[in-house]
Chains A and B, each alone.
Chain A
Amino acid sequence: MVEVAALSLTEKVQITFSQTAFMVVEEIKSLYKTKAFVIFSILMFLPMQLILISYATTNYPSLLAEVEKAFFLNGIFENGAIDAFRDIFSSAMGILTVQRGATSFTIGATTYYLNLPIIAIVTLLTCGFIAAEREKGTLPVYVSKPVYRTQLVLSKFFAFAIVSLALTSLTYSLAYFTYAATLLGPLSLFFTGVAETINLLLILIFFTWLFILAVGSITILFSSLIDRSIIVGVTSLIVLLLLSILPDMLTVFGGAGLSSYLKFFDIPGLASQLIDYHSLGFFNYYQNLWNIITMIGFFSEFIVSRMVDPTTALAIIILLIVVPLIAACIITEKREVA
């Protein structure tokens, strides 16, 4: 029998890196075919669609009535749920100045993206990353191959990171330009200058992406601990929602002390504050709004108790991405594959 020589350390490192890169590519190809990814894409593109609907209902009500009739959707655009989402953006329509348009978009977009629907769909997308492999019986096949289990976890995470960055970039940009075009006219795409617009979009995209990665990373940690995808999804969703709701509830009901600790785990809150802080310089209107808000007693205490300085907020979000991921890798390495 021919002996197979052990790989040298250099060979192992080289193989591991190239193997992981190839695995990421294959994971991306698999990810975009899943139902969860389709729903994720729809939800991410929704603001752009709602902006268009909002514009159409405001400016072309008769045309919309014809569309409703043709597709047997009578009354769909008067639907309460659609109204609620539309109002996030439509409040700016026709009543705010050009300068305030970018501010409104920022407020509206972050209210939508850093919220329950995206938390839920990212949880759904990532809950089965490890748990589903155990459920289906493919994990024993993979870990019996010459691959480190950490590579399996990281390749899925990197694939998710790449896909979510691409989707966030595309949907934010499209939503922003659609908003600008509907407010200013079809040939106008910028509320402010080109450089400011790109800067603003980069801020929005980057911190929203970090938020998505943190949600995904925490869900992957649960996926490494719990063997059933559905339980992973529910557990992760409940934990993340509690962490984002509890600080506000505790402040309202007089628990500002505990809230001041829990605020560090409120991922949407951290991402939102980072966006607010980094985009503050653009908007005089926003600066004025901030000044007004901080002058009001109750709200100022509320806001101050929830504030995290930007450096700390960024560090925490990055830790909330990295630490659960490392923990997931360690747990997957150590756990037996029954």
Chain B
Amino acid sequence: MSAISICGLRKTFGSFTALDNVDLEVPEGVCFGILGPNGAGKTTTIKIILGLLEPSEGEVRVFGEMAGSYNVRRRIGYLPERIEYHNHVLCIDFLKYVGILNHMKPLSAERAAREILAWVGLEGWESYPIGTLSAGMKQRLGLAQALMGSPDLLILDEPTTNLDPIGRKEILDKVRELVRDGKTVLISSHILSEVEAVSDYVGIIFRGRVLRQGKLKDVVQELVRSKSGRCELIVDKKDAVLSLLRERGVDVTVDGERIIISSSDMDSVGKMVPKVLAEADARIIKFAPVGGTLQEVFLQLVSEGG
């Protein structure tokens, strides 16, 4: 069974179409990254999955049941993109309240809250008002509340916001740990390198449509193959090599120290480059295909609109 199954989802706000015919499958027990620029529809999709918004058309199921149903909400933990708190409330009391909402008894909720606070790196801050926490600590607290009740599905919207690099690494390590424990994690982030580091699957959303989805490496490889014909060349005598390549009619652009070669026949390029280097008496520093990272795939897709 898929953890999340979205079929033909459409959501409009008045005359504005936020989501248009979205199909998405999130398998169980994986980390699924949702990528998209601001306003793409990521958060709208997440809120429909949670039952906070109603779809205009289409069907969304979570663990086989209708999204937003009471039973399904027992199995979900959610960290919103932007969360503020009542500053006078103590950290432990806030988590205890969330635990009670998750059907825990107050004592059990308090015990679980202390364990989770330690797990997210906030041990010792139980009795402090939330207003005394830094922005990064509040983000950790947000992750802590999502974990109350041991949910099977975690939905994290920009989970590393306000965290320093060490904090980001710690949170991403925690996410990997949760997936290893069998949880399904849906992570929405603008920081593509982080999504790439932690996700098994990815879905790219742009202007309310899903451009690509699937296993991360498959999505990246498919686009690299379909858009093949680009490679980068870094040499010690850039101008000489550039001039020789242009004489041979090769499509080249310059990006700083990099010479980007575009061609539909990379085999020929591979044979030609050593000859050009020999003729220019240039030393090769780097020669590699371009478009091998998620960021480059993402930018490429978004600029083309799919």
CB atoms of B71 and A4 under 8 A apart: yes
- Give Cα A142 to B52, complex, Å: 10
B166, CB-defined interface residue at 8 Å: no
Residue with the highest number of chain B CB atoms closer than 10 Å, among A6, A12, A136, A146 = A146
CB neighbours of B238 from chain A (8 A):
none
**For window 1-59 of chain A, which residues contact chain B by CB distance below 8 Å?**
1, 3-4, 6-7, 12, 15, 19, 22-23, 25-26, 29-30, 33-34
Closest-by-CB residue of A relative to B184 is: A1
* Nearest CB of B to A127, in Å: 14
CB neighbours of B93 from chain A (8 A):
26, 29-30
B80, CB-defined interface residue at 8 Å: yes
CB atoms of B53 and A22 under 8 A apart: no
**For window 104-153 of chain B, which residues contact chain A by CB distance below 8 Å?**
105-106, 145, 149, 152
* Nearest CB of A to B44, in Å: 9
CB atoms of B63 and A145 under 8 A apart: no
CB atoms of A146 and B47 under 8 A apart: no
* Nearest CB of B to A297, in Å: 55
CB neighbours of A33 from chain B (8 A):
88-89
A144-B73 CB under 8 A given contacts A1-B29, A23-B101, A336-B53:
yes
A257, CB-defined interface residue at 8 Å: no
* Nearest CB of A to B143, in Å: 12
* Nearest CB of B to A337, in Å: 4
* Nearest CB of A to B98, in Å: 7
A-B contact count (CB 8 A): 99
CB atoms of B102 and A336 under 8 A apart: no
Closest-by-CB residue of B relative to A32 is: B88
A141-B103 CB under 8 A given contacts A30-B89, A34-B88:
no
B71 interface neighbour in A7, A26, A132, A145, Cβ under 8 Å: A7
CB atoms of B78 and A140 under 8 A apart: yes
A140 interface neighbour in B52, B88, B103, B149, Cβ under 8 Å: B52
A186, CB-defined interface residue at 8 Å: no
A82, CB-defined interface residue at 8 Å: no
CB neighbours of B53 from chain A (8 A):
336-338
Residue interface bits B212-245, CB-to-A below 8 A is 1, else 0:
0000000000000000000000000000000000
* Nearest CB of B to A37, in Å: 10
A97, CB-defined interface residue at 8 Å: no
CB atoms of A336 and B52 under 8 A apart: yes
CB neighbours of A26 from chain B (8 A):
93, 96-97, 100, 106
Chain B's interface size range is: 35 or more
A6-B105 CB under 8 A given contacts A23-B100, A137-B82, A138-B85:
no
* Nearest CB of B to A184, in Å: 42
CB atoms of A137 and B28 under 8 A apart: no
B1, CB-defined interface residue at 8 Å: yes
- Give Cα A7 to B73, complex, Å: 12
CB neighbours of A19 from chain B (8 A):
100-101, 103
CB atoms of A140 and B106 under 8 A apart: no
- Give Cα A3 to B28, complex, Å: 12
Closest-by-CB residue of B relative to A148 is: B70
Count the A residues whose beta carbon is within 8 Å of the partner chain — how many? 33
* Nearest CB of B to A17, in Å: 12
B185, CB-defined interface residue at 8 Å: no
CB neighbours of A147 from chain B (8 A):
73, 101
B50, CB-defined interface residue at 8 Å: yes
CB atoms of B100 and A22 under 8 A apart: yes
CB atoms of B52 and A138 under 8 A apart: no
CB atoms of A146 and B70 under 8 A apart: yes
A143, CB-defined interface residue at 8 Å: yes
**For window 19-56 of chain B, which residues contact chain A by CB distance below 8 Å?**
28-29, 47, 50-54
**For window 120-152 of chain A, which residues contact chain B by CB distance below 8 Å?**
132, 135-138, 140-148
A1 interface neighbour in B89, B97, B103, B152, Cβ under 8 Å: B152
**For window 80-94 of chain B, which residues contact chain A by CB distance below 8 Å?**
80, 82-86, 88-89, 93
CB neighbours of B98 from chain A (8 A):
141-142, 145
* Nearest CB of B to A102, in Å: 40
- Give Cα A78 to B50, complex, Å: 60
* Nearest CB of A to B46, in Å: 10
- Give Cα A136 to B71, complex, Å: 26
CB atoms of A138 and B73 under 8 A apart: no
* Nearest CB of B to A155, in Å: 10
CB neighbours of A140 from chain B (8 A):
47, 50, 52, 78, 80
CB atoms of B51 and A137 under 8 A apart: no
- Give Cα A33 to B90, complex, Å: 10
Residue with the highest number of chain B CB atoms closer than 10 Å, among A136, A141, A336 = A141
CB neighbours of A34 from chain B (8 A):
88
Closest-by-CB residue of B relative to A143 is: B52
CB neighbours of B74 from chain A (8 A):
4, 146
B76, CB-defined interface residue at 8 Å: yes
Residue with the highest number of chain B CB atoms closer than 10 Å, among A136, A142, A145, A338 = A145
- Give Cα A148 to B76, complex, Å: 15
25 examples of A-B residue contacts, CB within 8 angstroms: A1-B29, A1-B152, A4-B63, A4-B71, A12-B70, A19-B100, A22-B106, A23-B101, A29-B93, A33-B88, A132-B86, A136-B85, A137-B84, A138-B83, A138-B84, A144-B73, A144-B76, A144-B78, A145-B73, A145-B98, A145-B149, A146-B73, A147-B73, A337-B52, A338-B53
Q: Nearest 6 pairs between A and B by C-beta?
A: A145-B101, A337-B52, A136-B84, A146-B73, A146-B74, A144-B78
Q: With A145-B73, A145-B149, A146-B102 given, name 7 new contacts (CB 8 A).
A: A4-B63, A4-B71, A25-B106, A26-B100, A136-B86, A137-B84, A138-B85
* Residue ranges of B at the interface with A (Cβ–Cβ < 8 Å): 1, 3, 28-29, 47, 50-54, 63, 70-71, 73-76, 78, 80, 82-86, 88-89, 93, 96-98, 100-103, 105-106, 145, 149, 152
